[in-house]
Structure 1
């Protein structure tokens, strides 16, 4: 175990071992009555987001080693639970053999990700979250940011997940290039267009983007619609099939996206560039900006030059737009507990350790993860992120739930065509209307 992990464990052990009798439970509808079950060691499997061998994974492995040490008989397996691993894991869940803890099973802001809770696959975490933390004198629930709590809670008012990190979609920029060429970080759309022109004049591609993953291109249209139309109306039209694309803000957002394309704002060759290469191009100084989730720093930690100067700002406002001009798009990486787990008290202990202020602070400093826990600062490698978070009026879910809805093949492919120059803004809007009418049946 590393020195850092031993320090975290020393700080956590006294608090969590003292409250072991207040942890635990059992799957099913009656686990509220068994929250006082003692924690016992045993085999436990937890889904994790980072791949094996990455700094993020090694951090979690150290934390797991501490759990194994404190509870004899514990053997913790960390299973990759991201991207291509999800279909196989969901098959395991359906067969009743899912991991004790897993990501991607619940999101209170997305009706398409609430069935696992509604069908009793997940432990209701409400009684645990309402227990008092002896360190703070407040319920565990109060340690999480108010912006995170809607993601944790189902429509029945019960909580089925806790956030282990936040994923905020912001505009990152190369602060050194901007400073060297006297470029102002753009706060408005017109300032963004000016920055594009100045970066091109400096011989730098303005915006890094991948052409091989449609939702990442869709981040641009998502934010434009958030500013020009508003979240609720956009989600109703693009994901929930309860609205239409009749607001003029939709045409305005697509027109602005075409503006960027026609200016040649995107990374040369982006059409065939995957997201890792696009991110690497940004950190290599080949592009001045990238609209990306806050996982950018932790994901690329090994590839970021030591002297790289990163800046972060919110997505530019659209003066005259009818949407929220300061809302922040993002999400929470949420982990849920299997109702069929044989080690629920031990799993609760893992969640408490993982979401403690000590652990979250260490992850922010060492890995670059943005925390959903109160009073944990933004990663030091992300200058400006604290200001972005404090100035945001609210946080709304990224992607509008599109990847999990029946409209997933009706929306982002059309945005990709606009990026690629295969359609203009008006044709894109017409195609979206046609596709959504067909899929939604209206």
Structure 2
């Protein structure tokens, strides 16, 4: 879901042209074991829409634990042996270094030459470019948007409408809290990203879509007043009890459960939660009772509600050394067919167009419509952070919303590790 940071080690130059992987006669896909759905879809394509491509260059499935991915990819790059297609490194900096060394295919250029560039959704392309410094160097086999899911019944019972501004959201939270309903299902046990993403959400609406890129590029610091204001806004939710009594003790699964059992009225989460919503055993409130609204605007802010936070799961890169006409044919077939196959086979939403209609449930269709209408996406709080800074952020967010750390001190702690 959320990519973690990783230590960057030096890479040997790997200019395209030959390489061990280029001559193995297979379309090798090295993917993380934690994502069994994507390779299953590729395998399905190999036996159907991409039969001819598979006959010319047989599909070869390889897997590795995500915790070992960065080290393995960098080792293979140093040996000029990157597989044809592979899950990109956990930290964007790892993949950017591979790109700078000449190891990766320019995906946008390749798809344009193949005549299928338009089969990548604009929002997915925008997200990839945001991750990799403006370069389109990955395929979006998964695509998730983020925002607030809400319990329609609870809203109706309390006379609430979907908030369009931050002040309206806070006002709705007060109404729910006064009525004895926990406003937000969230938590910070293990990793605190469900709450830290509220900080970046506010910052994007206050400062515009470049808010976190400006931190990365040294044009701004987290200790600047506008960023501290964002942290303070989220701290205020905690001090008023809107995030629950003890968010530091609530883990990811409990967050989902609190929302799906009707304990809380609102939950900030990505569209990766759709399978949870479709689970009739876990979903006690019913899918028909779930609505969605984007992060609201901040008065006077530069950001807009159509700039949705998004991610592409574990992005997938192509080896320049292994790329040839047969790989290009595979890539073209994937671009044209993966979007439909992913929905049909596993209900997975990707960054590819759905060229063959697939019947989906109402919430999946809602997410698809939101993605289709999104031209500019934004990232999340820790996107460009080092591993150390990400850990500092996650480990200290509970103290911020519990009132044990000030917004200014929280931002100072994270900024010190950037």
Q: Which TM-score applies when normalising by structure 1? A: 0.72
1:364-418 per-position Cα deviation (integer Å, ceiling 9, x unaligned): 4664433423467996324643564466572122236334477435544443421
- The total of aligned residue pairs comes to 390
User: In structure 1, which of residues 77, 84, 93 is the aligned counterpart of residue 76 of structure 2?
Assistant: 93
Partner in structure 1 of residue 123 of structure 2: 147
User: CA–CA distance in 1 between the matches of 2:175 and 2:58?
Assistant: 57
Partner in structure 2 of residue 235 of structure 1: 213
Partner in structure 2 of residue 283 of structure 1: 260
Say yes or no: does 1:338 pair with 2:319.
yes
- Mark the CA change 1:158 to 1:173 in structure 2 (over 3 Å): closer, same or farther: closer
Partner in structure 2 of residue 415 of structure 1: 397
Aligned residue for 2:390, secondary structure, equals coil
Partner in structure 2 of residue 47 of structure 1: 31
Partner in structure 1 of residue 4 of structure 2: none
Q: 2:29 touches 2:62 (CA, 8 Å); kept in 1?
A: yes
User: CA–CA distance in 1 between the matches of 2:256 and 2:68?
Assistant: 22
| Pairwise CA distance, 1:219 | 0.5
Gaps of 5+ in 2: 1-13
Say yes or no: does 1:292 pair with 2:269.
yes
User: In structure 2, which of residues 267, 276, 291 is the aligned counterpart of residue 311 of structure 1?
Assistant: 291
How large is the RMSD of aligned CA atoms in angstroms? 3.9
- Mark the CA change 1:58 to 1:434 in structure 2 (over 3 Å): closer, same or farther: closer
| Pairwise CA distance, 1:259 | 2.0
Q: 1:314 touches 1:388 (CA, 8 Å); kept in 2?
A: no
Partner in structure 2 of residue 74 of structure 1: 58
Partner in structure 1 of residue 3 of structure 2: none
- Mark the CA change 1:326 to 1:69 in structure 2 (over 3 Å): closer, same or farther: closer
User: CA–CA distance in 1 between the matches of 2:411 and 2:372?
Assistant: 35
User: CA–CA distance in 1 between the matches of 2:184 and 2:283?
Assistant: 19
User: In structure 2, which of residues 384, 392, 397 is the aligned counterpart of residue 402 of structure 1?
Assistant: 384
Say yes or no: does 1:370 pair with 2:346.
no
Aligned residue for 1:162, secondary structure, equals coil
| Pairwise CA distance, 1:45 | 2.8
- Mark the CA change 1:400 to 1:270 in structure 2 (over 3 Å): closer, same or farther: closer
Partner in structure 1 of residue 102 of structure 2: 120
User: In structure 2, which of residues 404, 407, 411 is the aligned counterpart of residue 432 of structure 1?
Assistant: 411
| Pairwise CA distance, 1:234 | 4.3
Say yes or no: does 1:226 pair with 2:226.
no
User: In structure 2, which of residues 283, 295, 308 is the aligned counterpart of residue 328 of structure 1?
Assistant: 308
1:251-304 per-position Cα deviation (integer Å, ceiling 9, x unaligned): 332222122112212245432332233223322322222211221114665465
- Mark the CA change 1:144 to 1:345 in structure 2 (over 3 Å): closer, same or farther: same
Q: 1:313 touches 1:388 (CA, 8 Å); kept in 2?
A: no
- Mark the CA change 1:190 to 1:262 in structure 2 (over 3 Å): closer, same or farther: same
Q: Which TM-score applies when normalising by structure 2? A: 0.76
1:177-197 per-position Cα deviation (integer Å, ceiling 9, x unaligned): 333443322222222123223
Aligned residue for 2:143, secondary structure, equals strand
Gaps of 5+ in 1: 1-26, 32-36, 133-138
User: CA–CA distance in 1 between the matches of 2:231 and 2:164?
Assistant: 19
**Segment of structure 1 superposing worse, 297-306 or 112-121:** 297-306
Q: 1:410 touches 1:432 (CA, 8 Å); kept in 2?
A: no
User: CA–CA distance in 1 between the matches of 2:169 and 2:266?
Assistant: 10
User: CA–CA distance in 1 between the matches of 2:51 and 2:373?
Assistant: 42
Q: 1:223 touches 1:329 (CA, 8 Å); kept in 2?
A: yes
Say yes or no: does 1:130 pair with 2:112.
yes
